[in-house]
């Protein structure tokens, strides 16, 4: 299996190749116009269509930034559905725009990073509209199972519709991460993508203990979330514009939270862009009776 850093490097090389091909295509277009004037109209139409498409994506991304900032603003009860984004019908379009059309590659890289294999039992925590859970089901096949949970009933309803439409057997439920409706040792893999930063500090610790509780010994937890960032592109990245500065430490804090919850062999790194990081850990052999969430005093 590839190391997560090798996956990130391979994705970087693939992105570089795509930019090189785009550059060659533009040079070819210029050459065609220069040496074959009759093709000028065709080249201009194709170029205009390309520009219009990219401008459309930019406008959708800006709309997404505005809506997501509104969803993230204010203080909300972390146990209530109001803490989550509720406009599920628009969510997939905005995610596609905010990831610059790379959502599918992002989901596949997530599954590669945690090495999801046929026959495994997978839980996607904070599953949203179910895109990652459905991709995981394609990997585990008929011999594996996939569950997705989210605190938003609207997101879960949309995820169920997508599962039916794609003919994939994935179970989706409404549940908060700090109170997962599963027994101990129920899963081989737990996934969490861009979910931890939504949780208040006092809830995060409980969430990691719960994710450890439902994992078998030796199971894997992958957290992909916002990380400390630098550089002009990181500051202007659409994902960064959505969140406040306080949100951008989630991936960095996840390592300590995983250690405290009993994970070992923890690996960290950047994930695809400067604003995202990953934390991958293996569940230790702590007895299930010691993994239960302790009641909060008072």
User: What domains, with CATH codes, occur in the chain?
Assistant: 4-290 (3.40.50.150)
Q: Which residues are bridge partners to 221 per DSSP? A: 190, 281
CA-to-CA separations, 86 to 24, 29, 285, 292, in angstroms, rounded: 43, 44, 38, 30
Residue 226 CA to residue 204 CA, distance in Å, equals: 14
State percent of the chain over pLDDT 90: 42
Residue-wise pLDDT tens digits, 137-173 = 999 999 999 999 999 899 999 999 999 999 999 999 9
Q: What is the mean pLDDT of the chain?
A: 75
Mean pLDDT, residues 247-268: 87
pLDDT of 8 higher than 60: no
Supply the pTM of this predicted model: 0.70
Edge-to-edge order in the sheet of strand 121-125: 171-174, 145-150, 121-125, 187-193, 215-226, 273-283, 263-271
pLDDT of amino acid 123? 98
CA-to-CA separations, 267 to 74, 130, 174, in angstroms, rounded: 33, 26, 30
pLDDT of amino acid 229? 64
Confidence of residue 95 (pLDDT cuts 50, 70, 90): confident
pLDDT of amino acid 92? 79
Other Cβ atoms closer than 10 A to 8: 18
Mean pLDDT, residues 206-231: 89
Of residues 45 and 61, more confidence is placed in 45
Q: Which among 270, 232, 268, 226 is positioned nearest to 248, based on CA atoms?
A: 226
Mean pLDDT, residues 267-273: 81
Q: Which residues are bridge partners to 224 per DSSP? A: 193, 278
- What sign has the CA pseudo-torsion 279, 280, 286, 289? positive
pLDDT of amino acid 245? 43
pLDDT of amino acid 291? 45
Q: Which among 234, 153, 213, 222 is positioned nearest to 189, based on CA atoms?
A: 222
pLDDT of amino acid 149? 97
Q: Which among 255, 228, 260 is positioned nearest to 243, based on CA atoms?
A: 228
CA-to-CA separations, 274 to 165, 230, 271, 290, in angstroms, rounded: 34, 7, 7, 37
pLDDT of amino acid 63? 55
pLDDT of amino acid 78? 37
Mean pLDDT, residues 90-95: 74
pLDDT of 26 higher than 90: no
How far does Cα 270 stand from its chain's mean position? Answer: 13
Contact in structure between 174 and 150 (CB atoms under 8 Å): yes
Residues 6+ apart with CB under 8 A from 210: 177, 178, 179, 180, 293
């Amino acid at each position: 299996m590839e190391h997560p850093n090798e996956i990130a490097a391979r994705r970087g090389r693939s992105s570089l190749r795509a930019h090189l091909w785009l550059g060659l295509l533009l040079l070819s277009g210029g050459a065609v116009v220069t040496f074959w004037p009759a093709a000028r109209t065709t080249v201009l139409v194709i170029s205009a269509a390309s520009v219009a498409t990219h401008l459309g994506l930019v406008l959708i991304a800006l709309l997404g930034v505005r809506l997501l900032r509104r969803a993230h603003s204010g203080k909300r009860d972390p146990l209530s559905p109001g803490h989550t984004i509720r406009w599920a019908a628009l969510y997939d379009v905005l995610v596609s725009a905010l990831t610059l059309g790379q959502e599918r590659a992002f989901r596949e890289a997530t599954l590669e990073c945690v090495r999801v294999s046929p026959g495994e039992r997978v839980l996607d925590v904070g599953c949203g509209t179910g895109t990652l859970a459905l991709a995981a089901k394609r990997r585990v096949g008929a011999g594996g199972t996939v569950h997705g949970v989210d605190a938003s009933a609207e997101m879960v309803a949309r995820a169920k519709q997508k599962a039916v439409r794609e003919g994939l057997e994935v179970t989706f439920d409404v549940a908060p991460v700090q109170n997962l409706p599963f027994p101990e040792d129920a899963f081989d893999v737990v996934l969490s993508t861009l979910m931890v930063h939504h949780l208040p500090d006092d809830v995060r610790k409980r969430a990691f203990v719960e994710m450890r509780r439902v994992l078998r010994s030796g199971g894997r937890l992958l957290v992909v979330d916002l990380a400390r960032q630098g550089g002009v592109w990181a500051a202007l990245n659409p994902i960064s514009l959505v969140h406040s500065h306080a949100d951008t430490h989630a991936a960095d804090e996840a390592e300590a939270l995983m250690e405290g919850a009993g994970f070992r062999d923890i690996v960290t790194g950047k994930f695809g862009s400067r604003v995202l990081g990953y934390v991958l850990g293996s569940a230790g052999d702590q007895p299930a009776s010691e993994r239960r969430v302790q009641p909060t005093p008072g």
